[in-house]
Structure 1
Amino acid sequence: MKRLSLIVFAIFMILPMQSQNITIEDYNRAVSFRYANYNNKTAFNLHTTVNWFEDKSGFWFVDFSKERKAYKIVNFKDRKVEDLFDHERLTNALNTIQNNEVHANRLELSNFEIKAKNELLFNFKGDAYTLNLKTYQLQQDEKKSKEDENEFETKSPDGKWIAYAKNYNLFIKSIETNEEHQLSFAGRKGFEYASWYGWYDKIEGENGERPKRFYVDWSDDSKWIATSIVDFDNAEKMYMLDYSIDSLYKPKLLSYYRGSPGDTTMVHIQPVFFSIEAKKEVKTNLPKGTHINFVSPQWMKQSGMMIASYLERGFQKGFVKRIDLNSNSVQALIKEESQTNIDNFEYRVIEEQEKLVFLSERSGWRQLYSVDYKGEVNALTKGEFYVNSIAHIDEKAGVIFILASGREENNNPYHQQLYKVNLEGELTLLTPENTHHSVSFSKDGSFFVDNYSTINTPTRTVLCSADSGKIVCNLTTTDTSEAEAMGWTSPEVFNLIAKDGKTTIYGAIWKPTNFDASKSYPIIDATYTGPHTQQFPKSFNRGFQNQALAELGFIIVKIDGLGTSGRSKEFHNHSYKNMGNNLEDHVLAIKYLEKKHTWIDITRVGIYGHSAGGYDTGRAMLAFPDFYKVGVASSADHDFRMEKAWWPEMYQGWPVDESYEAVSNITNAANLKGKLLLVHGGIDNNVNPSATFKFAEALIQADKDFDLLILPSQRHGYRGKSLNYFVKKRWNYFVEHLLETEPIWDFKWE
């Protein structure tokens, strides 16, 4: 009896000791590192957005500090940073309208434009004002009464014609004579001319109609119309039930047209073109496509000429063609082919040079090419580096500005820099700093603003000359002294050799601000291996991204393994038809970190992710059940066969084969060992919640213990109170099951 009493006493003593592992102060610190609570409150000017004036005279921006929110202007004539207005005087003027509710150091103003000399336009609380910068007289502008615009008709550029749809056909009407001309005749419900397919077109009820849509694209000379036939004849829908409407006591049935991988019962789209002079359709041999791979045309300046691009189903062949409607001829300019996939294909037309430029991975690395109107292709960049995007084109000079990563020696391969290249292939580096550069070009292309930083180097924002890259003036510098006083430090970057035994991969880890190297911490993998992007935190503003969860006593890690984007084509191809193995490098990296750091407890590994990251989380718990112990999977595509068609067909392949079955979380549900929380928005029309329900059913049939949270009113991204509720559930799920202590539910968000 005495021994039993001692055991009970020991247990009684242990329980409060465990509960002391986490406190309300830990939660308060976590809350302080949510975006709304740190951005420009304890960490200032992490990234500065500039707003270019329509008159091309300069731009305005906001410089944040602990003391004030300062609106600034740079005029291209003197290129100096000055106050956009006298903050105190404008505050006084606004307070005559707002009854002393406005404070000079926290003004909330937007949409500034130069109206005239000494006059400034801006918006305040939804109203437009004109400010006299000499007298500081403030005039509230009359709200412009919108003309009775009809979204179902479009006027020609020369103002002579109105195009509209009637009975699912295309008509035009002369504005001068009111004479009507029918241009198409085969239209009917479900086979609709002059329409477009909306990705999020919502249909309500059992016999509801999709929203009415109208689309035509006039040529600049008003002689031609491009539009499309949207064919719903055999298209199938996805469905949802909305239980969140207070006034209803039955769920509302919602649906939308969307195809899944391998489906033939999809919306189809056919490009069609009409001559206004002939009042009839001009036939081309451009193909009808599904809603994930239809033809995208754009007019050229020359009458009747256009460029059309499209990818074939499966994303292994792509074309860019020059169409001459005058002669009804089609000329192939670019043909892209891949044994895996063509991802993020991008091109631009440079009409003044009679060329197109485009980005292609045909060399094994994403490079910039030009092609003339005869179809002759020329490589403008060459090497083992990655061109991320075309930032700007000076058409007259034939100069292309590109953002590229991994070209310079000793640079992190994810850090991009700005270059300019001419049509002869002469390449010039414009941003030499060994950091990541995020740029925005002025409307005339003469200047660019550069936010440059690394995850460990604070952001500096500068105005630069586009011609030379020379810094013209400094705009803002990041200040994190307030956050640092709270104990914050930027994440630690690491690298290791990937599963292929030769390639360097990168990641970063976040530690709590009260980190103690003598303790042992669980580690959580914040995952998103979606092959269309990468997660390495390239810039300084990403340094706070995972700090909140870390404050609860965790190490958080982000890793880009083989198969993600932004590196070589060989690197990217590791995930093709192989997305079930995207986490192998994550496991390798966490084991590497455990060997490097004594304070990482590899027996307590968690994982969470949203969307494709939610799939990762489910996959981790099933494919590596002895490694990952706790997971939170939100809005996940747990079976690619139930997803929207384009994403799985791009990365898991088409036609659908047995590999889809092999990587499905649903078919592998019996492998679950750890604690798994599934979360989904009830009306998610991006990743339909059906796969989460089906995964839950598979777990039930396999007699597996798991948790399920449905947010009835939420779509793919969670908002408001539902977002806070989800974050609290995710935090506490890890606190309870990975930290193995009693979580706290009642804490404040501010």
Structure 2
Amino acid sequence: MKYLKFSFYVSFFFMTSLVAQTQEITLEDIWSKGTFRTERLDALHSMANGQQYSVLNFDRSTRSTSVDIYDYKTLKKVKTLVSSANLDALAYFTSYTFSDDERKVILATNRESIYRRSTIGNYYVYNINNESLTLISEEKIQEPTFSPDGNKVAFAKNNNLYVKDLNSEKTIQITFDGKKNEVINGITDWVYEEEFAFVRAFEWNADNSKIAFIRFNEINVPEFSMDIYGQSLYPRQKAFKYPKAGEANSNVSLHIYNLETEKTQEVKVNKMYKDFYIPRIKWTNNPDVLSAQYINRHQNELDLWMVNVKNNTSSLALAEKDKAYINVTGSLTFLEDNSFIWTSEKDGYNHIYHYDKNGKLINQVTKGNWEVTSYYGYNKKNNTIYYQSVENGSINRDVYSIKLNGRSKTRLSKDEGTNSASFSTDFSYFINTFSSANVPPRYTLNATSSGKLIKSIKDNDRLAKTLSNFKISKKEFSTINANGNNLNMWLIKPANFDASKQYPLLMYQYSGPGSQQVANKWNNANDYWYQYLAQQGYIIACVDGRGTGFKGSDFKKVTQNELGKYEVEDQIAVAKQLGELSYIDAAKIGIWGWSFGGFMSSNCLFKGNDIFKMAIAVAPVSSWRFYDSIYTERYMTTPQENASGYDENSPINHVDKLKGDFLLVHGSSDDNVHLQNTMRLAEALIQADKQFDWAIYPDKNHGIKGGNTRLHLYKKMTRFINETLGDK
């Protein structure tokens, strides 16, 4: 009953409580006080028995961390598996990973970030049976991973791979040529980590006898450096290999280490590749057969290879081609007979496919003019696949089940908005996370067989109550036709909106390939900023133009070789249309964005100088020649092949068109979109004698955060908006 009561309360709140909303949002509420902090459910691990799950908990009274076991059905704590309060050598830990048999767990502490996803830290193995604790290495290491039997741990250290035997406590080194900025074994280089979204590039086989790993030779990759100013008398320099578009990538090769023979062999497939990537490797259930995905540099031809390491042969199981590019799938799943589940956009929408072990298509499991957005898993007991999709509208997400043969599709989530699921190991239960633009996140336990609610786990009724005291405007969803396409849009108007008045308009967008900003889900911090601006008398709009995601590959890939052309045309066209509305002041339209969005807002101001009065660009790409090879070439090929596509759509080449007000912001330690982008854009503006405002945040990365940084940034942006669009 609590679940039903909460649903009613939130919807009732948004329909009837406007009268009670008198308190105004402040920037401090958003960025320093945590006034609108959302309660979230900590990431959990489903135990092998399917009836229990584990959670990492922190005890403030003892300043200790623990791994606690809970029962799905009752949601009550069953026991504490391990607590740092009982470990003399370990004051705390920040993450944990079970062995397959759940008799051991790796505990992490003292972790330091390297790049976006990679970390280095101290790791221990805790034996649950005898309560012993073993330090894996005296030095900090990366990606420690149990062998399937739990008796060994493979890990990376100083660009080499090692294996520790937990029974003998003996450690062996299995690669020896690793060297910073030259050779990396088993860990991805910067560009793979950022663009292919993984760090650990090594995998155990099923019988613990072999480790497959990717070797990165980055000697010929150009080096990028940036100063770290810190607190010392002299700054230090951070240098790392970063391949920009058209420049040399790491030479990658695939290797197998045999723990029985203690020898390494290089894997060769039956095709000559001139310049290629290996974005995924995965062992099949056969301990002698490794799958490897190879993709060409243009990323429009992807091959799935099955490599038999026993007889050193390879066979091509699957070959996909696309006129634009192919997204690498992380959903490859091998069934007991080594047939496999695969996702692909080959019919124009992202869907699930089932192939036999040789790559022959058995059937297309899902189909329709909608996209599968997440693949959750396969239940072998009832031949059922679980997934998330946008079948119920591209701004919504729902959870579904479907038989492997493509029949008996069932919608398991019930409410319209954004639903995602975390399933128990045996697929008896799933925890559904739901939110919408009007309903804060809530977490419920559901029966997988029907999707039926079992009980509420956590909601945000406290946040809803807090918000009832503030002036909150509803986010209005609609579509707008621009350049022959119906584009998803939302608007936020002042709570006291009067259609007889005129309001300045601030547009927000990101617009990157396959992205989405117009989504029916709960607020992030920017949404509260938009509410703050609405209080000040602004209308805020967001439109997902061509090139964005979840509306089919044709809509998404129309921008191929012309990043920033059609996307900018759509934002300009929408701004024109909105400016024609009686309640929009067409002389006061601004636009802002971050990263790709900063690239877009710069272009919109320069190319749409008769429409936009101002723009804010945070951490923008100013020329695609400055950005990394994998991302940029996926959509643009190389600058050597497509010079006009690069130059005609990059803001740095259109500074002469600037008429309005421009705020340019960057972090000096941005390893992703380098400060070089802003420095070169600033110099181009200066030489064109164009006035602009700018701010550099010392030692801040692409996120520009830490301490009071975000508060300072949003105060700066708010003041700029008021000075250029407002009456202040």
Displacement, 1:313?
Answer: 0.7
Aligned to 1:555: 539
SS at match of 1:240: strand
> Which of the numbers 195, 201, 204 marks the counterpart of 1:218?
204
Counterparts of 2:681 and 2:487, CA distance in 1: 32
Residue of structure 1 in register with 2:471 after alignment? 487
Secondary structure of the structure 2 residue equivalent to 1:415: coil
Distance 1:706 1:688 in 2: 20
Summarize the Cα distance change of 1:242–1:112 in structure 2 as closer, same or farther, 3 Å threshold.
closer
CA distance in 1, matches of 2:200, 2:424: 33
In the alignment, is residue 267 of structure 1 matched against residue 250 of structure 2?
yes
Alpha-carbon contact 2:576-2:611 (below 8 Å) kept: no
Q: Which residue of 2 aligns with 1:371?
A: 355
Asked if the contact 2:340–2:356 (Cα under 8 Å) also holds between the matched residues in 1, the reply is: yes
1:392 Cα deviation (Å)?
A: 2.5
1:735 aligns with 2:722: yes
The yes-or-no answer on 1:414 pairing with 2:395 is yes
The 2-side partners of 1:589 and 1:722 are apart by: 32
Residue 297 of structure 1 deviates from its aligned partner by 1.6
Q: Which residue of 2 aligns with 1:724?
A: 711
Residues 368-394 of structure 1: CA deviation (Å, up to 9, x unaligned)? 111111211121111111111102322
Shift of 1:143: 12
User: C-alpha displacement at 1:451, in angstroms?
Assistant: 2.8
Q: Which residue is equivalent to 2:334?
A: 350
Letter in 2 for 1:512: P
Aligned to 1:424: 405
Structure-2 residue corresponding to 1:573: 557
AA paired with 1:616?
M
Aligned-pair CA distance for 1:290: 11
Structure 1 residue 525 and structure 2 residue 507: aligned? yes
Matched residue SS, 1:723? helix
- Normalised TM-score (structure 2): 0.77
Q: Which runs of 5+ in 2 are unaligned?
A: 1-21, 57-67, 80-84, 86-92, 98-106, 111-130, 194-198
Q: Partner residue of 2:602?
A: 618
In structure 2, the residue matched to 1:210 is none
- Once the two structures are overlaid, the 10-residue window that deviates more, 441-450 or 324-333, is 441-450
Q: 1:385-431: per-residue Cα shift (whole Å, max 9, x none)?
A: 111110232244432111111x3xxx432212111122211122222
Matched ranges for 1:189-338 at <5 A: 192=183, 194-199=185-190, 217-243=203-229, 245-248=230-233, 250-264=234-248, 266-286=249-269, 293-338=277-322
Is 1:402 aligned to residue 402 of structure 2? no
Q: Does 1:682 align with 2:676?
A: no
Secondary structure at 2:600's aligned position in 1?
helix
Indicate the residue corresponding to 1:22 in structure 2.
none
Partner secondary structure for residue 626 of structure 1: coil
Q: Which residues of 2 match residues 578-593 of structure 1 at below 5 A? A: 578-581=562-565, 582-593=567-578
Aligned mates of 2:177, 2:69 — CA distance in 1: 56
Change (3 A) 1:385 1:155: closer
1:170 deviates by 7.4
Task: State the distance in 1 between where 2:612 and 2:558 align.
Answer: 22
The change in CA–CA distance for 1:167 and 1:572 in structure 2 (over 3 A counts) is closer
Q: How does 1:509-520 map to 2 (within 5 A)?
A: 509-520=491-502
Structure 1 partner of 2:448: 466
Q: How does 1:14-53 map to 2 (within 5 A)?
A: 29-33=26-30, 37-40=34-37, 51=44
CA distance 1:661–1:222, change in 2 (3 Å):
same
Matches of 1:48 and 1:176 in 2, distance apart? 36
* Cα distance, 1:61 vs structure 2: 9.6
Report SS of the residue matched to 1:687: coil
Post-superposition CA distance 1:483-504 (Å, at most 9, x none): 23322132111212231x2x32
Question: Structure 1 residues 186 and 512 mapped into 2: Cα distance closer, same or farther (>3 Å)?
Answer: closer
What is the CA deviation profile of residues 569-601 of structure 1, one whole-angstrom value per residue up to 9, with x for unaligned ones? 1110222222222032223333333444x3221
Say if 1:191 and 1:229, in contact at 8 Å, map to a contact too.
no
Tell me by how many angstroms 1:730 deviates. Answer: 0.5
User: 1:348 deviation in Å?
Assistant: 1.9
Spell out the pairing of 1:13-162 with structure 2 (5 A cutoff).
Answer: 29-33=26-30, 37-40=34-37, 51=44, 54=47, 57-58=51-52, 79=73, 146=135, 148=137, 151=141
Counting matched residue pairs gives 635
Which amino acid is the alignment partner of residue 258 of structure 2?
S
Does the C-alpha gap of structure 1 residues 567 and 169 become closer, same or farther in structure 2, counting only changes over 3 Å? closer
Distance 1:350 1:453 in 2: 32
Distance in structure 2 (CA, Å) of the matches to 1:339 and 1:509 = 35
| Alignment correspondent of 2:115 | none
Cα drift, residue 171 of structure 1? 8.4
The code of the aligned residue for 1:438 comes to S
Measured after TM superposition, the shift of residue 468 of structure 1 is 1.7
1:630 matches 2:617: no
Distance in 1 between the 2:156 and 2:54 partners? 42
1:681/1:279 CA distance change after superposition, 3 Å: same
Give the share of equivalent positions with the same residue, in percent: 25
2:585 maps to a residue whose letter is: D
| d(CA) in 2 for partners of 1:180, 1:76 | 37
Could you tell me how far 1:541 is from its partner in structure 2?
3.5
Matched residue type, 2:370 = F
Q: Which residue of the partner structure matches residue 366 of structure 2?
A: 381
Label 1:625 to 1:290 Cα distance change in 2 as closer, same or farther (>3 A): farther
**Partner SS for 2:695:** strand
Q: Distance in 2 between matches of 1:381 and 1:343?
A: 18
CA contact (8 A) 1:33 1:548 kept: no
What is the identity, as a one-letter code, of the residue corresponding to 1:482? T
Match of 2:18 in 1: none
How far apart are residue 636 of structure 1 and its match?
A: 0.8
The 1:623/1:164 distance shift into structure 2, 3 A limit, reads: closer
TM-aligned CA distance change 1:572 to 1:168, over 3 Å: closer
Q: State which of 424, 439, 445 in structure 2 corresponds to 1:442.
A: 424
Partner Cα distance (2:415, 2:147) in 1: 48
What CA distance in whole angstroms lies between the structure 2 residues aligned with 1:52 and 1:394? 17
Deviations 1:315-352 (A, max 9, x none): 10112121111121212222121101112534322331
- Counterpart of 2:456, as a letter, is N
* CA RMSD, 1 decimal: 4.1
SS of the residue corresponding to residue 381 of structure 1 reads coil
Q: How big is the shift at 1:537?
A: 2.9
- By how many angstroms is 1:75 displaced? 6.5
In 1, Cα distance between equivalents of 2:262 and 2:43: 46
Offset of residue 156 of structure 1: 6.2
User: In the aligned structure 2, how far is the partner of 1:182 from the partner of 1:453?
Assistant: 48
State the SS of the aligned residue for 1:493. strand
Q: Distance in 2 between matches of 1:346 and 1:680?
A: 32
Distance 1:608 1:440 in 2: 35
Q: Which residue is equivalent to 1:451? A: 433
**Aligned partner of 1:473: which letter?**
K
Cα gap change, 1:701/1:179 in structure 2, threshold over 3 Å: closer, same or farther?
closer
Provide the residue aligned with 2:121 in structure 1.
Answer: none
Superposed displacement of residue 725, structure 1? 1.4
1:437 is paired with a residue whose SS is strand
Taking the aligned partners of 1:180 and 1:364, their CA distance within structure 2 comes to 49
Output the CA distance in 2 between the equivalents of 1:471 and 1:176: 45
Counterpart residue identity of residue 680, structure 1: H
Deviation at 1:76, TM superposition (A): 5.0
Equivalents in 1 of 2:634, 2:353: separation in Å?
A: 23
Query: How far apart, in 2, do the equivalents of 1:320 and 1:519 lie?
Result: 60
| Alpha-carbon offset, residue 546 of structure 1 | 2.5
What's the secondary structure of 2:605's corresponding residue?
A: helix
Secondary structure at the aligned position of 2:571 is classed as: helix
Instruction: Compare CA radii of gyration and give the structure with the larger one.
Output: 1
1-side partners of 2:28 and 2:158: how far apart? 56
- Is the Cα contact below 8 Å between 2:445 and 2:455 reproduced in 1? yes
